Amino acid sequence: MRTKAALWTAIALAAIGGLFFAGIATAAPARTTVSIQPEQTGFSGFVSSSRASCANGRRVHLYRQVGRRWRHAGSDIAQPNGPRFQWAIQVPQPGRYYAAVKATRSCRAARSRVASPQPAPVNLIAPAPRG
């Protein structure tokens, strides 16, 4: 009798353990990427992930290098733009910036490359002489 009870207990524990580990395998955080594109007045980019919920509505943080430290310079929410999810942030100062998204329970964190805003266009056409 004890042997039967022990056998059923072992089978039940194995089944519960299998369900536990299967749940962990399927609940792994999705890989996420964030891109950064310099613009004349700031930056824009896209958040991408194999799981749409990891890109749509994701808060993107922009950081600016000040000396040796990185300071928060702004944030935006990634919104649908065609098949991708775009963000855009205006910056008042030149410098080195990167974009990042924080990890969530189901999505991995991501960080872009470092970029600088594009310089303002230079007017190469001289004004006509008055006279």
Q: What is the pTM of this model?
A: 0.71
Q: Give residue 14's pLDDT.
A: 61
Q: pLDDT per residue over 75-86, tens digit each?
A: 999 999 988 999
Question: What is the tally of structural domains in the chain?
Answer: 1
% of the chain beyond a pLDDT of 70: 73
Tell me the β-bridge partners of 110: 101
**104 located within any domain:** yes
Q: Give residue 41's pLDDT.
A: 87
CA distances from 42 to 13, 21, 33, 38, 115 (A): 56, 45, 19, 6, 10
**Range of the structural domain that residue 45 is part of:** 33-111
**43 located within any domain:** yes
Check which CATH number belongs to the domain holding 73 and give it. Answer: 2.60.40
